[in-house]
Structure 1
Amino acid sequence: MDRFDRIFDLHKLLSASRYPVSRQRIEEELECSRATAKRIIDAMRLYLNAPIKYDRELNGYYYDRSEGEMYELPGVWFNSSELHALLSVQQLLEHVQPGLLDQQLAPLKNRIESLLKAQALGGNHLSQRIRILRATSRPAGEYFQRVSGALAQRRQLKISYYQRASDAATERTLSPQRLTYYRDNWYLDAYCHLRQGLRTFALDALTKAEVLTDNALDLTPEELDAHTTNSYGIFSGQSSHMAHLRFTPRRARWVSREAWHPLQQSSWSEKGEYELRIPYHREEELVMDILKYGADVEVIGPSQLRSRIQQQLQNTLALYKEK
């Protein structure tokens, strides 16, 4: 039994008892020594503000209910692994720029540190032992605060957006709907008044952003989910194709444990191959993810996706031919 489990068990014991609980019973219930029981009680008092009192006459510990309210463990208390997950989130938040919610998140960060200290896990040292690697991330750009402000205030945005594929910029008026942090980059889901539909914009591609006085058009959560969750990757929209991929038995050991899409379908062949079906709308991101598996994956369908992969592989091979 680890330190958290003992804290949780002691909390349940004191909450359920009508009379003070003896130290001997605490040691038995928590399966610990006298010294460990004392450290747990001290930690709960110091870090968790637990109102644990000692009754000398009855020789036991109890929760002080003089203020009328039943004491509860603070925050989200489940188990040690989830506290470690919170620390990972905390570290991720520290690296996410810029600090729109810094003031609101500060109490959460302090609480996480207190909970970790209560478990004698050494919160400060533990943060140095958790690593979050960020690959291919791009800075959110200088307009993050302005975009997030318009989103919060429900105001329209006038932007200039650089489209890398065409190497050109367009002027647009948007009604911001959601900010999305995806693969270490920030995106804005917004209703585009120029295209009269939902579109997704990479924040680092904004070359201008101006908050307007006009109220933003509000779309329902159902409309947003239909746009953002039906298709594969960041390229949202109503799915119009179903990719059918077949992975080799060796690669299947990894891919079969991965979640590519909430609506994916999977099956196994008699040869031990793993077959995956994924709905998609645009194929750009899907093509990149398929290519990284090289000869360990085959596109069974649809034909246009298979042809696209074939062409990409032929173009790649041409780069390595002897000159």
Structure 2
Amino acid sequence: MSKLDELYRLHRLLDGRRTGIARADLIGAHDFARATLSRLIADLRNKLNAPLIHDKDRGGYRYDTADGRFALPGLWFTADELLALVTLKHLLSNLEPGLLEDHLRPLQTRIDQLLASRHLSLGEAGRIRLLAMAARHKNPRHFQIVAGAVLQRHRLRIDYYNRERDESTAREISPQRLAHYRNNWYLDAWCHDKKSLRSFAVECIREVEPLTKPAKTVAESTLNRELGSSYGIFSGKPRAVAVLVFTAKRARWVAEEIWHPEQQSRWLADGRYELRVPYSDDRELLMDVLKYGAEVEVVAPDEFREVVKNALDAAASQYWRGKSKGSGFEPGGE
């Protein structure tokens, strides 16, 4: 039996008891090795912050809580460790069959076991280079509580900060799954206040409190339809399809990219590349289009074409103003 299994076994014996368990009984009746028991007790106290005490008046070891209960953390590793583990899993899963297939299969199995056990002790990530671009600061404790709720299927009460409205609101949510997107973590959850599915940026959770209520379960097919069918992180069913045409030069890069699982594309006769992507909210798509500047044209829909045009006009106007203020230069002048 692994150390993790032994720790869970000891926890189950202690959890919910109002009277303690004597050390002799744990060693004799429950078959814990003496050295192992000492190590498990230390781990519960020091690594998992369990309120484990030895109460002689009540017969031995117990959790020092009103009802004798203590909820183990659902996740015992950091967001960065989880990312490393999941990245390895995805890399192995997406490898085409080759010479090393038989040698890598045991590694795939071991990673699956680590994920299933919800415990990690990988140490150094090794020689995998991950470049985190625009990753936002997150609260490690909040991440672990949120991830634990996802795995253990219980509700959370959160104070959530909305950057666009610059305000915080209290929510009761049923976590469904975690998503790591563009170097940041998002929580897909059922919001009991809004009566609908929502995606929450984990770093915007200012306060979080685990609740004893079981989480409402939403079918994976519904999650994918409501939260995974549109463009980027924004939820909602797609309401339009953006038609983007890239220059022949930029097409060398874009033709190799997947912008959306349901995208459609084709090469045009003059070497340009047409990409069609569904979207519900144009904000993220706008940012991705703008970074290509003059090397992409929005052909349709007219509504989104106008949004991009207005954004480019607003950006250009800042440079005209800056130039005129600094040197007296006016658009159209000598």
Asked if Structure 1 and Structure 2 have the same fold, meaning a TM-score greater than 0.5 normalized by the shorter chain, the answer is yes
What's 1:307 paired with?
Answer: 306
Q: CA deviation at 1:152?
A: 1.6
Between the two proteins, the alignment pairs up a number of residues equal to 221
Q: CA deviation at 1:193?
A: 1.1
CA contact (8 A) 1:160 1:170 kept: yes
> 2:221 and 2:210 mapped to 1: Cα distance?
26
> 1:100 and 1:139 mapped to 2: Cα distance?
24
Q: Deviations over 1:37-89 (max 9, x none)?
A: xxxxxxxxxxxxxxxxxxxxxxxxxxxxxxxxxxxxxx9995459989x99xx
Residue identity matched to 2:136: R
Other structure's SS at 1:204 match? helix
Other structure's SS at 2:119 match? helix
What's 1:245 paired with?
Answer: 244
Counterparts in 2 of 1:79 and 1:215: CA distance versus 1, 3 Å: same
The farther-off stretch of 139-148 and 160-169 is 139-148
> 1:146 and 1:204 mapped to 2: Cα distance?
13
Q: Report matched runs for 1:144-223 at 5 Å.
A: 144-223=143-222
Q: Report matched runs for 1:1-323 at 5 Å.
A: 78-79=98-99, 104-106=119-121, 109=122, 127-128=126-127, 130-141=128-139, 142-321=141-320, 322=323, 323=325
> 1:306 and 1:102 mapped to 2: Cα distance?
49
Q: Deviations over 1:127-181 (max 9, x none)?
A: 44x4221110013324111111111221111111101011111111111000001
Q: CA deviation at 1:319?
A: 1.3
Residue identity matched to 2:316: L
> 2:311 and 2:102 mapped to 1: Cα distance?
42
CA contact (8 A) 1:157 1:174 kept: yes
> 1:81 and 1:250 mapped to 2: Cα distance?
37
Identical-pair percentage: 43
What's 1:22 paired with?
Answer: none
Q: CA deviation at 1:292?
A: 0.5
What's 1:18 paired with?
Answer: none
Counterparts in 2 of 1:137 and 1:81: CA distance versus 1, 3 Å: farther
> 1:185 and 1:83 mapped to 2: Cα distance?
32
Counterparts in 2 of 1:267 and 1:304: CA distance versus 1, 3 Å: same
CA contact (8 A) 1:146 1:211 kept: yes
Q: Structure 1, unaligned stretches of length 5 or more?
A: 1-74, 88-98, 111-123
What's 2:59 paired with?
Answer: none
Counterparts in 2 of 1:233 and 1:82: CA distance versus 1, 3 Å: farther
> 2:146 and 2:99 mapped to 1: Cα distance?
37
What's 2:54 paired with?
Answer: none
Residue identity matched to 1:136: A
What's 1:25 paired with?
Answer: none
Other structure's SS at 1:143 match? helix
Residue identity matched to 2:270: K
> 1:83 and 1:303 mapped to 2: Cα distance?
53
Other structure's SS at 1:158 match? strand
Other structure's SS at 1:235 match? coil
> 2:132 and 2:156 mapped to 1: Cα distance?
29
Q: Deviations over 1:214-236 (max 9, x none)?
A: 11110111111112221110112
Q: CA deviation at 1:296?
A: 0.4
Counterparts in 2 of 1:81 and 1:158: CA distance versus 1, 3 Å: same
TM-score (norm 2): 0.61
CA contact (8 A) 1:182 1:234 kept: yes
CA contact (8 A) 1:244 1:299 kept: yes
Residue identity matched to 2:168: A
Residue identity matched to 1:132: L
CA contact (8 A) 1:100 1:145 kept: no
Counterparts in 2 of 1:82 and 1:274: CA distance versus 1, 3 Å: farther
> 1:248 and 1:255 mapped to 2: Cα distance?
10
CA contact (8 A) 1:180 1:187 kept: yes
What's 2:51 paired with?
Answer: none
Counterparts in 2 of 1:164 and 1:82: CA distance versus 1, 3 Å: farther
Q: Deviations over 1:201-252 (max 9, x none)?
A: 0000011111111111101111111122211101122111111100000000
TM-score (norm 1): 0.63
Counterparts in 2 of 1:147 and 1:268: CA distance versus 1, 3 Å: same
> 2:118 and 2:273 mapped to 1: Cα distance?
47
CA-based RMSD: 3.0
Counterparts in 2 of 1:153 and 1:259: CA distance versus 1, 3 Å: same
Q: Structure 2, unaligned stretches of length 5 or more?
A: 1-91, 108-113, 326-334
What's 1:64 paired with?
Answer: none
Other structure's SS at 1:104 match? coil
